[in-house]
Structure 1
Amino acid sequence: HYLTALGGIVAIPLILSKELCLTHDPLTQSLLISTIFFVSGMCTLLQVLFGVRLPILQGGTFAFLTPTLAMLSLPKWKCPEWTQNVSLVNASSPEFVEVWQSRIREVQGAIMVASCFQIIVGFSGLIGFLMKFIGPLTIAPTITLIALPLFESAGRDAGTHWGISAMTTFFIVLFSQYMRNVPLPVPVYSRSQRKFTYSRLYLFQIFPVLLGISISWLICCILTITDVLPTKPESYGYFARTDVKAMVLDEAPWFRFPYPGQWGLPTISLAGVFGILAGVISSMVESVGDYHACARLSGAPPPPKHAINRGIGIEGIGCLLAGAWGTGNGTTSYSENVGALGITRVGSRMVIIVGGVLMLLMGMFGKIGAVFATIPTPVIGGMFLVMFGVIAAVGISNLQFADMNSSRNIFIAGFSIFSGLTIPNWVNQNAALLETGIRELDQIILVLLTTGMFVGGFFGFFLDNTIPGKCTA
């Protein structure tokens, strides 16, 4: 379960690093990776022991990424030009440290305040009331628009070397789609027969992303040693080299205990809070579905309302902890690990508890975070192409629960998704036309209208609950 969640957890700090002005500071990237591992382990233990009490793993959420990126794209938080030039960046200088820490503190404050809403909704039982008004035509555009706006991030990283990115994508697709049903024989000792027997392990089905990244990483290492890849920083393909960030392995501490407020005292802005609230609502809806799927696959009865309320409330506490520790993200249940239950057919909570403890320990060993920070950029880009595509498709798949032969439903789904792409794009290019003269209000409007997930989800919610139609549709 730990290895299954690995790709998604590592991806989040790497996506945020550019907007936090950390493109050329792999050491801080490694610290963020270690922190999100630590908090994910802590939240997993809380959820399994005190929350919904199902074998479900917690990790960083992509639902928070879109509003976070929208918030950091405000003129106030645009990265200074010199932070994008590797020759001008001194990662230990007080000026540079303040640049990235001021940004992550703003994200921390927004997450901590927005998480209070999730805590209240969960423990008060309001989630059941809200779900009466949130159907597939709201969920589909919301989840789809979590991934679609990230195409620029995927293209930017993949474009550093399209050959390596395509190779990574090829391996992930090969393992996850073409070889998913190919078993590998694993020797297992049988006590009853008192001898070793062979068991089938569907390794490619469980770890396609990890295997794809590992093989591509190894090939990049070989190409680096043989100097097939260019050695000049300005040359195309340079960032496919494995020695570009190698110094972080020496600089990262062996042991480091992440703690609350490690980047300073969080700051709060209304714009950030409203933006993250959109992510919180999306995350809650997704988690409710995961709880039911997890119960079904683990052989447990459907979770009662009080268990769901507890689970959402604990997730809110998890987001509060993630904000306090400074991961730059929140926490949610991992659908990938719910799927892994169906493959492994092991529904024991103890397995997830051990996975949570592993994440806690990994978060305290700085060298492990440093290793992940050295993954070549185009390898990450290749992973993004697959990962974001799957997230978008998962969103669209929710439409199977609506009657798509209905012109009403076709209109709502299409209009919501298209508006969630069109309006943020226009607002980004014409922000000055929306200025009211009140800075705080301008920031709130800008963050909300540039968050496609909020725009699409709002239209889906409004239209689905106001346009007349049959309940069965």
Structure 2
Amino acid sequence: MFGVKLQGRVRHTGPEDERYSVGKTIAYGAQHILTMYGGVIAPPLIVGGAAGLSGPDMALLVTAGLFVSGVATLLQTLGLGPVGSKLPIVQGISFATVSTMVTISHSGGLRSVYGAIIVAGLIGLVLSTFVAKLIRYFPAVVTGTIITMIGLSLLPVAFTWALGNDPHRAGYGSMSNIGLAGLTLLIILVVSRLFQGAISRLSILIGLIAGTAIAALMGKTDFSAVGQTKVIALPSILPFGSPTYDIGAIVSMTIVVLVIMTETVADVITIGEIIETKVDTRRVAAGIRADMAASTVAPLFGSFPCSAFAQNIGLVALTGIKSRFVVATGGGILLLLGFFPIFGAVVAGIPYPVLGGAGVVLFGTVAASGIRSLARVQFHDNLNMVIVAVAMAFGLIPIAAPTFWDAFPQWFATIMNAGITGTAIAAILLNLLFNELRIGNRSGASVFAAADDERDAVLGVMEGGGDRLADEIRD
């Protein structure tokens, strides 16, 4: 039970307000940053490469991304008035925006990218309250499906990391890379199983450190960038010039921002379920505002839109560390890394196979959290099973058939190629059609509901003398 003393009485607070000692808070916060560091630096490297930036400018993009991610995380976890959900959510540069930014940079350069982000972020801020009021349309059948899909869509990233991340690099897919990922995973599982308390909760961090040490003995680490990196690099204001504004770029980015907002709603609801705290429309709106405010300001420092990192939601679920102050400390570390890129270069030395081994646990935990939410859904005499089936299918399309949406308009393909978004759109629309729209709804009208009725009837007959067999059928 959590609480703070106030005039001789105890005022109860949520699990997200729990506090730890300084040492534990820093260690747990660092674990969050180690988990998502590769994901934060990847979008700047991808977009900067597409824009043809030089080495120093690429380093500037990465530093700006770390700095903005830190500011966004602090804003989300600590809050500032009506901005910030005050939940343990780590913010980072959004992968959902990468393909759109690459496309815009090819035609208008980074200045056009930044202009589109600023306008789209402002539109998102205006829409934040309206979007939050739609929370009633996110019942467990919708959120559970989305959460499960978040985990499933992230698992291929972990597998790619385990292989070595870059197919063009020597050793990609080698047994040594896969073995290193497997060994890291094994270390995490052993620590989680054999130890309790603080040590068990730091299993991911311990696995990353041990995995990196083993990788160093195998000659698979490269810290040469440390000696080539400046010790201090202050964030610059408008480092690539003033933003330019193109209508097409703005429309494309606004669509992507709507995708981010949809993901944010799901992430805020997800973390609320994981840590078992109340999440209402006001809190969802505050979380969206934090995303949009950080995204709007990001171009001023030469960075890109921010969103919640699902892998860190998995870390919260896995470790049981629910404190927003732990995550805020991680945000402070990110901000400091933005000032001291040499530390970032050290963390960047963690080999991808090591990250892949940890990612299997983290991303799989997210999927398992979604399955736990679906376990609370009533599937009897309704079409909830159809909702889950179709929504999951839409989410798996980009994974199973990456070129499926290529023939569609670019804006539509951008939306649907994000598996999480495809799942969210399908789940929300089908829930509206089957559960909210009452016209034409008839009990037991579906072949799926009828199948459930028949199955239950068979189980009922068997209860008298075949309990064991009935249990086996249920399983």
Q: Which residue of 1 aligns with 2:263?
A: 282
Task: Go from structure 1 to structure 2 and tell me whether the alpha carbon gap of 1:394 and 1:342 turns closer, same or farther (over 3 Å shift).
Answer: closer
Distance 1:317 1:114 in 2: 11
Residue 58 (1) aligns with residue 58 (2): no
Distance 1:150 1:26 in 2: 29
Q: 1:420 aligns with which of 371, 375, 395?
A: 395
**Aligned counterparts, 1:305-320, within 5 A:** 306=282, 308-320=284-296
Q: Which residue of 1 aligns with 2:206?
A: 211
Residue 133 (1) aligns with residue 140 (2): no
**Structure 1 residue 461 displacement after superposition:** 0.8
Q: Secondary structure at the match of 2:218?
A: helix
Q: Which residue of 2 aligns with 1:71?
A: 100
Q: 1:387 aligns with which of 333, 358, 362?
A: 362
The TM-score normalised by the length of structure 2 is 0.68
Kept in 1, the 8 Å contact 2:72–2:92? The answer is: no
Distance 2:233 2:212 in 1: 26
Residue 38 (1) aligns with residue 67 (2): yes
Residue 158 (1) aligns with residue 162 (2): yes
Kept in 2, the 8 Å contact 1:68–1:107? The answer is: no
Kept in 2, the 8 Å contact 1:278–1:453? The answer is: no
Matching residue's letter, 2:38: A
Q: Which residue of 2 aligns with 1:236?
A: none
Distance 2:241 2:398 in 1: 35
Kept in 1, the 8 Å contact 2:66–2:338? The answer is: yes
Kept in 1, the 8 Å contact 2:32–2:327? The answer is: no
Q: Which residue of 2 aligns with 1:92?
A: none
Task: Go from structure 1 to structure 2 and tell me whether the alpha carbon gap of 1:377 and 1:136 turns closer, same or farther (over 3 Å shift).
Answer: same
Task: Go from structure 1 to structure 2 and tell me whether the alpha carbon gap of 1:348 and 1:274 turns closer, same or farther (over 3 Å shift).
Answer: closer
Matching residue's letter, 2:212: W
Q: 2:126 aligns with which of 104, 115, 120?
A: 120
Q: Which residue of 1 aligns with 2:184?
A: 171
Q: Which runs of 5+ in 2 are unaligned?
A: 1-27, 164-171, 439-448, 450-475
Task: Go from structure 1 to structure 2 and tell me whether the alpha carbon gap of 1:374 and 1:354 turns closer, same or farther (over 3 Å shift).
Answer: closer
Q: Which residue of 2 aligns with 1:20?
A: 47
Distance 2:152 2:274 in 1: 25
Taking every aligned residue pair, what percent have the same amino acid on both sides? 20
Residue 222 (1) aligns with residue 217 (2): yes
Task: Go from structure 1 to structure 2 and tell me whether the alpha carbon gap of 1:19 and 1:55 turns closer, same or farther (over 3 Å shift).
Answer: closer
Q: Secondary structure at the match of 1:262?
A: coil
Distance 1:264 1:140 in 2: 43
Q: Which residue of 2 aligns with 1:249?
A: 226
Q: Which has the higher contact order (CA 8 A, sep 6+)?
A: 1
Of 451-460 and 421-430, more deviation after overlay is shown by 421-430
**Structure 1 residue 413 displacement after superposition:** 0.5
Q: 2:297 aligns with which of 321, 339, 357?
A: 321
Q: Secondary structure at the match of 1:132?
A: helix
Q: Following superposition, which runs of at least 4 residues in structure 1 exceed 6 angstroms of deviation? A: 23-29
Task: Go from structure 1 to structure 2 and tell me whether the alpha carbon gap of 1:265 and 1:128 turns closer, same or farther (over 3 Å shift).
Answer: same
Q: Which residue of 2 aligns with 1:457?
A: 424
Root-mean-square deviation over aligned CA pairs: 4.1
Kept in 2, the 8 Å contact 1:155–1:381? The answer is: yes
Residue 373 (1) aligns with residue 348 (2): yes
Distance 2:213 2:73 in 1: 31
Distance 1:18 1:357 in 2: 22
**Structure 1 residue 303 displacement after superposition:** 6.4
Task: Go from structure 1 to structure 2 and tell me whether the alpha carbon gap of 1:377 and 1:336 turns closer, same or farther (over 3 Å shift).
Answer: closer
Q: Secondary structure at the match of 1:60?
A: strand
Residue 402 (1) aligns with residue 415 (2): no
Distance 1:142 1:105 in 2: 34
How many residues end up aligned between the 2 structures? 393
Post-superposition Cα deviations, 1:94-124, rounded to whole Å, max 9, x if no partner, equal xxxxx9x94x6666555444433442244x4
Distance 1:182 1:32 in 2: 42
Post-superposition Cα deviations, 1:235-280, rounded to whole Å, max 9, x if no partner, equal xxxxxx323xx43212211001123433455563423331332122
Q: Which residue of 1 aligns with 2:415?
A: 448
Kept in 2, the 8 Å contact 1:154–1:385? The answer is: yes
Matching residue's letter, 2:69: S
Q: 1:142 aligns with which of 130, 146, 163?
A: 146
Residue 202 (1) aligns with residue 198 (2): yes
Distance 2:299 2:375 in 1: 35
Kept in 2, the 8 Å contact 1:169–1:386? The answer is: no
Matching residue's letter, 1:330: C
Matching residue's letter, 1:164: N
Distance 1:316 1:382 in 2: 32
